[in-house]
Amino acid sequence: SEDESSSSESEEETRTSSNKPNKRARTESQNNDETPVVAPPPLSVAPPVTSTESQAHRTQTARHKKIIVLLDLARLETVKNRRDTYELLNCDDHRDLCTRKLKKDPKQYRPDICHQELLALIDSPLNKAGCLQVYIKTTSNVLVEIHPSIRIPRTYKRFSGLMVQLLHKMKIKASGSSTTLMKVIKNPFSRHLPAGAAA
């Protein structure tokens, strides 16, 4: 009969559908079996150094470590000109004086070299951080100590006048302050070095 045939067909479909694998369930079970991916922890960032900490570190470094520079054999000698005033002896303005009276090569008298060296040292980041101490020793064995806070004149003419004043008065003080910016000190140079330092 038609009812029996239809019931048998429905039973076969049921058996067929039950025999088919459940792809969705199998996929889910496979996903559950897989090891979960763990995200790596974020990289730690060092805390920024504040200006106060940086300044304190520079101060501590300057206190314990200081570079000492000696500008040796500097040609800083004074001479009286025709106007009866003193100025630094140099190869440009006193060529005849060097050759005729002093009997020396004018090229040896180059105080401008010392001027340029002082500008480079005092303007350096090392000096501004308080880690530098500069000394000058002339060919006449005059030893000069330079204060780190000094502002070296930019022009040679002003520098020359400043050095003449130093060599004659033995020291230069800051205007409106008791700070000694440059002064002539006693030899030998080794006595001004820290303990354990080699000259």
Which tens digits make up the pLDDT trace of 148-170? 999 999 999 999 999 999 999 99
What whole-number distance in Å separates Cα of residue 111 and Cα of residue 164?
11
Identify which of 143, 141, 149 has the alpha carbon closest to the alpha carbon of residue 173: 149
Do residues 130 and 78 touch, judged by C-beta distance below 8 A? no
Do residues 150 and 182 touch, judged by C-beta distance below 8 A? yes
What's the token pair of residue 24? 């969705």
Q: Which residues 6+ apart lie within 8 Å of 146 measured at CB?
A: 118, 122, 133, 134, 135, 136, 181, 182
Is this structure's pTM higher than 0.85? no
Q: Is the dihedral of CA 107, 110, 116, 121 positive or negative?
A: positive
The DSSP element (H or E) to which 47 belongs, if any, is none
Residue 110 has pLDDT above 90, yes or no: yes
Predicted confidence band at 44 (pLDDT cuts at 50, 70, 90)? Answer: very low
- Parallel/antiparallel/unpaired status of strands 171-173 and 143-146: unpaired
Q: What DSSP line would sit under 63-110, residue for residue?
A: HH--EEEEEEEE---EEE-TTS-EEE--TTT-HHIIIIIS-S-GGG--
- Parallel/antiparallel/unpaired status of strands 86-88 and 180-185: unpaired
Q: Of residues 186 and 38, which shows the higher confidence score?
A: 186
Which tens digits make up the pLDDT trace of 118-134? 999 999 999 999 999 99
A 10 A CB-CB count for 119 gives 14
Which tens digits make up the pLDDT trace of 45-85? 445 555 565 666 665 654 557 899 999 999 999 998 888 89
DSSP-based helix, strand, coil % in the chain, nearest 5: 45, 15, 40
